Amino acid sequence: MNDLAARALTIHRLLIGHYGDRPWRPRLDPLSELVVTILSQNTNDVNRDRAWQRLQERFGRADWRKVMAAPTDELVEAIRPGGLAQTKAPRIQEALRTILAECGELSLDFLRQMPVEEAKAWLMRLKGVGPKTAAIVLLFSLGQPAFPVDTHVHRVSRRLGLIPPNSSRQKAHHLLEELLPPETYYSFHLNLIAHGREVCHPRVPRCGICVLQRCCDYCRDMRSSH
């Protein structure tokens, strides 16, 4: 194990000590997770949940044939609280059509049988599905070893020095998956998000109360500059 991997495990343990361990539990079936994740793009959790609730109220819970066949304007109106509905509605319908055409049913359960990299590549062929969306479906629905990188994970991992400062979010998925043991992905991902929301804020991080001070490049650099 190299020094950076050892530091990542130390950070993982410190985050568990502060925020608790997060044993994996499935949230939704993979197709529902895909739709929710598309709804979550470029918005917050509150607006995503409002859009998801309205979609279910209008079309029924996981009635994907009805969603697929609906006039696009009707779907746009249902998911409007999530923002960018004019983009997200056709993406959802196009994804559903592709899945039905290629799989013969509106289900992503077949991903369970695929190696994770193949499953990730399959999902990313769908329009509007990038590395983060694919990783969320695989990790949260199927418990597969994929590491999603959102804005909090990207910011915090760069400040900690786990990935280079100029790493893109797309590149960060691969770097963090290589750095950490797969069994840590779920808890580490969720705890980095919690830390980004509560302590490692975008503009003014609360370094004085941070449990990761001794592991953090950003904190070290700030101290040396004063």
> Would you please indicate which residues are annotated as catalytic (active-site) residues?
132
96 exposed, middle or buried (CB, 10 Å; 0-12, 13-18, 19+)?
A: buried
How many C-beta neighbours within 10 Å does residue 157 have? 23
Query: Hey, what's the torsion of the CAs at 123, 135, 167, 17, to 10 degrees?
Result: 180
Strands (E), the chain: none
Query: Hey, what's the torsion of the CAs at 62, 107, 25, 12, to 10 degrees?
Result: -120
Check: CB of residue 200 under 8 Å from CB of residue 156.
Answer: yes
How many C-beta neighbours within 10 Å does residue 210 have? 20
